[in-house]
Chains A and B, each alone.
Chain A
Amino acid sequence: QKEVEQNSGPLSVPEGAIASLNCTYSDRGSQSFFWYRQYSGKSPELIMSIYSNGDKEDGRFTAQLNKASQYVSLLIRDSQPSDSATYLCAVKEGSQGNLIFGKGTKLSVKP
């Protein structure tokens, strides 16, 4: 059973701080990793994808991948109240497979 694990939170950070979200996965052969943001009552929105070990930056977001440790993380710098949402980690099965999601981490950014 391939699994993706996330701390469900809630994770609470003050406005302007760095939020760190973590995810581990069980399938060592996984090659594609994604972070989705989901506001309450809305559908998931893709914010980052990462395929190679190391860091990938996009604006205030940085995704980090360590395949040896089977670990993916998302850093949000200068957190804003509008970042308050549930963040879903997803791992793709094979090159054409489906996405396996974690249960999500709820982030709350306090003004």
Chain B
Amino acid sequence: DAGVTQSPTHLIKTRGQQVTLRCSPKSGHDTVSWYQQALGQGPQFIFQYYEEEERQRGNFPDRFSGHQFPNYSSELNVNALLLGDSALYLCASSLVQNGYTFGSGTRLTVV
């Protein structure tokens, strides 16, 4: 049973560029959440997708957008990258009341 898979694992981008990160949830999970984790900090909630709709959103600017596909996989898009967007981006999938299962993350470096 595959867990949560994320791609790519590492990415280096230049300020002002755009990036797309991808996530496939654990089999049977229908909810996907995205988190940003800066060095030395806990994960910060970006948004959550359920039934292809954004159900909740954290305190992130509109430069951060997402999408969920009919097969429950999801994408996170970040436009106009800033140096401060450098972080580990985590995707987590879940079923309603359960805890979240995290993918291995995408390490984004903006230079």
Contacts and interface: CB of A to CB of B under 8 A. Distances in A.
Interface of A: 4, 32, 34, 36, 42-46, 49, 88, 90, 93, 95-104
A102 B42 contact: yes
Contact of B56 (A45, A49, A98): A98
Contacts, number: 57
Given A98-B58, A99-B33, A88 B101 contact: no
Chain B interface size, under 10 / 10 to 19 / 20 to 34 / 35 or more:
20 to 34
Given A95-B97, A96-B96, A99-B45, A43 B103 contact: yes
B102 A98 contact: no
B40 to A, nearest CB: 8
Given A34-B99, A95-B96, A98-B58, A44 B45 contact: no
Interface of B: 31, 33, 35, 40-45, 48, 50, 55-56, 58, 88, 90, 92, 96-105
Given A44-B90, A97-B56, A88 B43 contact: yes
Contact of A103 (B33, B42, B45, B98): B42
A49 B96 contact: no
A100 B98 CA distance: 14
A34 B97 CA distance: 12
Nearest to B105: A43
B72 to A, nearest CB: 15
A10 B9 CA distance: 28
